[in-house]
Structure 1
Amino acid sequence: PIQQMHAWLIFALATVLLVPIALRALAPYLWMDVLYFGDLLRILVKFVSRRRKRPLFFVLDRFLEQTAAHPHKTFVAFEDESYSYTYTDKRSDKTANALRAQPGYRAGDTVALFMGNEPAFMFTWLALAKLGSPVALLNHNIRTKSLLHCFNCCKATVLIAGPELKEAVEDVLPSLKQQGVTVLLMTKHCDTPGIESFSDKVDEASDTSPPRSLRSHITFKSPAVYIYTSGTTGLPKAAVVNQNRLLTALAVLSSNGVTSSDVIYLNLPLYHTAGFIIGFIGAIETGSTIILKRKFSASQFWDDCRKHSVTVVQYIGEVMRYLCSTPKKENDKDHKVRLAIGNGVRAEIWREFLNRFGNIQVREFYASTEGNVGFINYAGKIGAIGRVNFFHQKLFPFTLIKYDTERDEPIRDAHGLCVESPKGVTGLLVSKITDIAPFVGYAQNEEQTERKRLRNVLKKGDLYFNSGDLMRIDKDNFIYFQDRVGDTFRWKGENVATNEVSDILTLSDCLREANVYGVQVPGHEGRIGMAAVTVNEGAQFDGSTIYNHVVNYLPSYARPRFIRIQVLEVTGTFKQMKVKLVEESFDPGRIQDPIYILDDKEKSYMALTAQVYSSIVSGIFRL
């Protein structure tokens, strides 16, 4: 018996010691998967309990809970001012009451917010939530036609603009006046007829809370915000983010281990999903403090983080690269930042960032404003956007399907169904549209909404969301972003729709056809815009006229940086030959056609010389 006992003890000891070793060797990420599943479960339980509350519980209610829990805590710090949760609450009450006094506004009307990053953006959004109004978040870089299009998409009756955008509003004022739109400018005084000053009215308004009855009409399906995306074609589209989706999004920061003791550095635009949902709405969930910046500055980034004891930062791929390309300093690792959340960082930049700035946990994720699937790289595997596991697949069924990039469409088998990509092979990410993973679509744009729906994917009659993104899954189940398909490319963190840019180029007098595509530039993320164009018969290419045209119609990131004059080649099916053009890029040594480069100093498109080309490739000339 004693020998038996010894044998059992040795066996038990060996099991205790060997099982973890065996698990680490055979399933190295199992523990992380289990922890992630626990996170998912917790989020789901919290979400379901909130959905059951009566009266209905929305993001605004979470903000009111946080204000009651820590009234004097700083909610947002901006430049030299800081505003507590109570101040924010009261200022949003004053804004709501000032707005109710405007003759052109009724509680519940859609309002467009055309503002840069400033606390008034947040106060105004909370005010509109209190009034039950959906809010369209307009990109403050858009002008004229694009601005009017975005404004009209969401059927807003009021436009609230930041003071620095007065000229942009004046450009479209005749059209807004014609539609009877109320235009408010966040200043104390405005002498432009048709534009009312608004800050003075907010200062004078009462700070009593507007009655809850003003938002009693809202359901989980009501639109909360419209966020604009240059999806795959056409002018920017208003993705409808409903109350239910916003409530789901509340969990993003807390699921990454962010708590109320964290200080979040928010320098991404508030009109974007990342800045608005992850930064602003995420901080409401966790009760954190936000350090708000007008815009990203690589030179001020770490000094700001040190000054404000920042613990969490947000990024897009370019942010990391800009930070890595600043001159090295002795105190690069001297900061309290422990977590960076974002997307679009390349593996080599990720490694460089960690080597230089210290042991910061990087949480890379993948999501799109209107999409119904997302991934998070909870294991911290460098280069991956997330990890695929059984639980995730059950909740959000998705697959990668084979895609023909030449014909710009999914490959189908003899039965007309899509073909799944095996592990290690790049495929198009598609995700099943279900009750848990719905696809709401775009406001006033059924045609574009339908374009994102893919039918008969794995069996007849099924319905999937087409992400437009090519992905690859490795043998360890990590998923990697490869590229966008066909008609869209990313530059400076923005999606650029090639068809929209083509349409705008051909509106100019001298161009007959334009084929727009993205080309890679050494040392830069994403792709920069290039256009192959044909000139109208009898017309001359005029660089300064085209420059003025694109500046009037397109935000800076969407303006084609290179223009190639050619007789447009089309394929047998009259598909424009993008693949070949992308390969040839903008190298004047490979291309016989004249090539021009956009020059902001000269306010024109200038001939691209071999010398300028080599300075771009070597990184001397910054784009």
Structure 2
Amino acid sequence: MDSFLIALLIAYIISLLFHINPWLRLCWVACLIISFIGNYWHPIRIFWLTLPRDLKTTKLLPAKFFLYKCKRHNKSVPKVFKEIAFKYPNRVMFYYRDDVWTFAQIDNFSNRVTNCFLEMGYGKGDHVALMMDNRPEFVGLWLGLSKVGIISVLINTSQRMETLIHSLTVIKCRALIYEPEFANSIRDVINKVKNINPLMEYYIYSDHVIADDNRDIPSEPLHQLLDISSNKYLDTLYDINFGDTLFYIFTSGTTGLPKAAAIRHHRFLWMGALIRSTIGIGLRDNIYITLPLYHTNAGVVGIAQTVLFGTTVTLGRKFSATHFWDDCIRYKCTVAMYIGEICRYLLAQPDKPVDRQHNLRIMFGNGLRQNLWTDFKTRFNIKQIIEFYGSTEGNSGVANITGKVGACGFLPRCIPPWLCQLIFPVVVVKVDPNTREPVRDENGICVPVEMGEIGEIVGVVRGTDPSRAYASYHDSEATAKKIVRNVLAPGDVGYRSGDLMEMDELGYLYFRDRMGDTFRWKGENVSTTEVEAIIQKAVGLTDCAVFGVPIDNCEGKAGMVVIARLPNAPIDMKKLYKTLCHELPSYAVPVFVRLADNIAVTATYKLNKQGLEKIGFDPNVITDELYVLDKICESYVELTHRLYRQIQCGYVLL
């Protein structure tokens, strides 16, 4: 309260004591009210605008209560699924192409998996890798394995060579289950995998006759083994606990090769319940999922809705822009999942009558760009878009449940800070741009950002609360690097997301960038150090810098590499393209290549990636040789001024 307001208040009290003219007292009262409003109008306005939104955070309570009940009764995912399958045995669990799977059928299939692997000598604590595209049996396999405590390791089917070798061996798996489509990828690495893990067994799962060229991998036909296994239910579920590991999902983290994040039963239960209560998904809904099930979005958040709560899911083998709306209409879907790239590809399709003939009431996901949001919602008549933010291993998830264009979530503004930190301990902290470490006050506590500033989103870890837990990596050293201490108070512990957010005055959060040696492209996190190692192996031991560059109207950043040319050693662009496509996942192959005489370094002799990123891939600025990936020509071709304009205008989809 300022001195003018205090003076007015004192004057008014004196007027009451000395019976001064009532009209004068009235003027003083008016001045007092006007001054009060003037001083406190901004917080009053913020309170008024955010109160209805912040009250919606009470939607967390049903999810918290569900998790509390599961913890109290030591329920695991297969235990909850057993209850759902018993309650809705004939209800459709999955629509997949022309197939229909009921809960009873998936339950029976998963029981066959359990009995089959028990008979082959597998038991609790063993690890089995799954390398499969979307299909109901994918869920049935990890569900059946989990019934006896076998931990699945979900492999990204885009991985190749060194990355795939790492993923198959970083956790000592007893077996790999794969589909015939991925036999070539496995054939390329099987000798090195055998050298590291000679005891790994291979099982091929296919609903058709296996081609001769797949028989050189020593594999057992799993589908045949399951056909002769019993579907009898066993009491092994009671050996599986609330805090046990359900499966591993690979995430890039912020540096190096993919890291295996442990998804425990309580995390699967919490993430599924949280999204359900926040979005309002019900039994009458039918969720269309085309995102890969080896990722958290579809494999945990989406699949949990059917495994835990009985909602029907329509599975697409892979995303297809031409068939997306046809499938939504055919299967009468009411909810669909997205990532930003899906929305952009759908907008790039020609207008069709089916664009608005669907029954979708909600689309939820992440990565929808602010400049595409309104166009997407209007063109396809989507009633509600719910953007959320989270990570496989993190605990700093937020959601935009009000439809604020461009925001990925919010932090409450009406709730007092001490109470907000108690029930929703997520904060955006300032980060030193040079050291990438949190900025701290004189007491050593992290400093929150002011409105309009950009900082790192951090979630406080609370050991007694499974909803605030951090899904640790299989690698303990990698886990330790993600921990920060003294976030909100002395002695507390937080999870560093590595993601930079900007917060506006109403508390809405906007994703701005990734920290560390990663960038996001095609819905995947790309490790620059991993790509640099492959490129150096391909072109010789020369300097190269990999980083992400923004493209107009594209989500994330496209990969770009600057290579320092060696004297008298020309680079064959076609050979480079083939090598990178063979060695790297498709999303990690650089889109742009720049050949330079040398690469500038910083004062500490590090490659100046920030300077290179600012220049980007503009041929109007760059005089060096500049190339762009061309999948049709299967090579890198010269990036001309005309091609540059077409890319920036969206005429060329990358």
Q: How does 1:143-542 map to 2 (within 5 A)?
A: 143-178=160-195, 179-187=198-206, 189=210, 191-209=215-233, 211-213=234-236, 215-255=237-277, 256-389=279-412, 390=415, 393-412=421-440, 418-435=446-463, 436=465, 437-443=468-474, 445-457=475-487, 461-542=491-572
Deviation at 1:392, TM superposition (A): 5.0
Distance 1:358 1:618, change over 3 A: closer
The reply to whether residue 139 of structure 1 matches residue 156 of structure 2 is: yes
User: Counterpart of 1:47?
Assistant: 67
Secondary structure in 2 matching 1:512: coil
Instruction: Answer whether contact 2:95 2:331 (CA < 8 A) is retained.
Output: no
The aligned length equals: 595
User: Counterpart of 1:17?
Assistant: none
Deviation at 1:332, TM superposition (A): 2.7
Deviation at 1:347, TM superposition (A): 2.1
CA distance in 2: counterparts of 1:412 and 1:534, whole angstroms: 39
- The aligned amino acid for 2:454 is T
User: Counterpart of 1:597?
Assistant: 628
The alignment's C-alpha RMSD in Å is: 2.2
Q: How does 1:571-610 map to 2 (within 5 A)?
A: 571-610=602-641
Distance 1:447 1:384, change over 3 A: same
Q: Which runs of 5+ in 2 are unaligned?
A: 1-42
CA distance in 1: counterparts of 2:420 and 2:375, whole angstroms: 31
User: Counterpart of 1:622?
Assistant: 653
Deviation at 1:517, TM superposition (A): 0.6
Distance 1:162 1:403, change over 3 A: same
Deviation at 1:465, TM superposition (A): 1.4
Comparing 327-336 with 425-434, greater Cα deviation is found at 327-336
Distance 1:331 1:243, change over 3 A: closer
Distance 1:175 1:575, change over 3 A: closer
CA distance in 1: counterparts of 2:399 and 2:93, whole angstroms: 27
User: Counterpart of 1:66?
Assistant: 84
Distance 1:590 1:23, change over 3 A: closer
User: Counterpart of 2:18?
Assistant: none
Instruction: Answer whether contact 1:364 1:385 (CA < 8 A) is retained.
Output: yes
Deviation at 1:331, TM superposition (A): 4.2
User: Counterpart of 2:5?
Assistant: none
Instruction: Answer whether contact 2:123 2:149 (CA < 8 A) is retained.
Output: no
Secondary structure in 2 matching 1:174: helix
Instruction: Answer whether contact 2:128 2:175 (CA < 8 A) is retained.
Output: yes
Greater gyration radius: 2
Deviation at 1:128, TM superposition (A): 0.7
Instruction: Answer whether contact 2:76 2:241 (CA < 8 A) is retained.
Output: no
Comparing 132-141 with 399-408, greater Cα deviation is found at 399-408
Comparing 232-241 with 603-612, greater Cα deviation is found at 603-612
Comparing 91-100 with 559-568, greater Cα deviation is found at 91-100
CA distance in 2: counterparts of 1:498 and 1:60, whole angstroms: 38
- The aligned amino acid for 1:282 is Q
Instruction: Answer whether contact 2:321 2:349 (CA < 8 A) is retained.
Output: yes
Q: How does 1:544-583 map to 2 (within 5 A)?
A: 544-566=574-596, 567-583=598-614
TM-score scaled by length of structure 1: 0.91
Comparing 557-566 with 602-611, greater Cα deviation is found at 602-611
- The aligned amino acid for 2:478 is Q
Distance 1:413 1:555, change over 3 A: same
Deviation at 1:88, TM superposition (A): 0.9
Distance 1:253 1:432, change over 3 A: closer
Q: How does 1:21-100 map to 2 (within 5 A)?
A: 27-37=48-58, 39-53=59-73, 56-100=74-118
Instruction: Answer whether contact 1:532 1:563 (CA < 8 A) is retained.
Output: yes
CA distance in 1: counterparts of 2:359 and 2:454, whole angstroms: 38
CA distance in 1: counterparts of 2:52 and 2:429, whole angstroms: 30
- The aligned amino acid for 1:452 is K
Identity %: 36
CA distance in 1: counterparts of 2:511 and 2:518, whole angstroms: 15
CA distance in 1: counterparts of 2:139 and 2:478, whole angstroms: 30
CA distance in 1: counterparts of 2:304 and 2:164, whole angstroms: 25
Per-residue CA shift, 1:505-525, capped at 9, x if unaligned? 122243412211100111211
Deviation at 1:253, TM superposition (A): 3.7
CA distance in 2: counterparts of 1:198 and 1:77, whole angstroms: 23
- The aligned amino acid for 2:630 is D
Secondary structure in 2 matching 1:98: helix
CA distance in 1: counterparts of 2:617 and 2:499, whole angstroms: 24
TM-score scaled by length of structure 2: 0.86
Q: Which runs of 5+ in 1 are unaligned?
A: 1-21
User: Counterpart of 2:13?
Assistant: none
CA distance in 2: counterparts of 1:573 and 1:30, whole angstroms: 49
Deviation at 1:81, TM superposition (A): 0.8
Instruction: Answer whether contact 2:325 2:354 (CA < 8 A) is retained.
Output: no
Secondary structure in 2 matching 1:299: coil
CA distance in 1: counterparts of 2:437 and 2:635, whole angstroms: 37
Per-residue CA shift, 1:282-339, capped at 9, x if unaligned? 2222311111001111111111111111001001111122222221233432221111
Comparing 556-565 with 106-115, greater Cα deviation is found at 106-115
Instruction: Answer whether contact 1:373 1:396 (CA < 8 A) is retained.
Output: no
Instruction: Answer whether contact 1:177 1:194 (CA < 8 A) is retained.
Output: no
Deviation at 1:124, TM superposition (A): 0.6
CA distance in 1: counterparts of 2:243 and 2:170, whole angstroms: 18
Instruction: Answer whether contact 1:406 1:579 (CA < 8 A) is retained.
Output: no
Distance 1:93 1:458, change over 3 A: closer
Instruction: Answer whether contact 1:472 1:482 (CA < 8 A) is retained.
Output: yes
Deviation at 1:250, TM superposition (A): 2.6
CA distance in 1: counterparts of 2:130 and 2:576, whole angstroms: 30
Deviation at 1:384, TM superposition (A): 1.2
CA distance in 1: counterparts of 2:487 and 2:382, whole angstroms: 43
- The aligned amino acid for 1:34 is L
Instruction: Answer whether contact 1:376 1:387 (CA < 8 A) is retained.
Output: yes
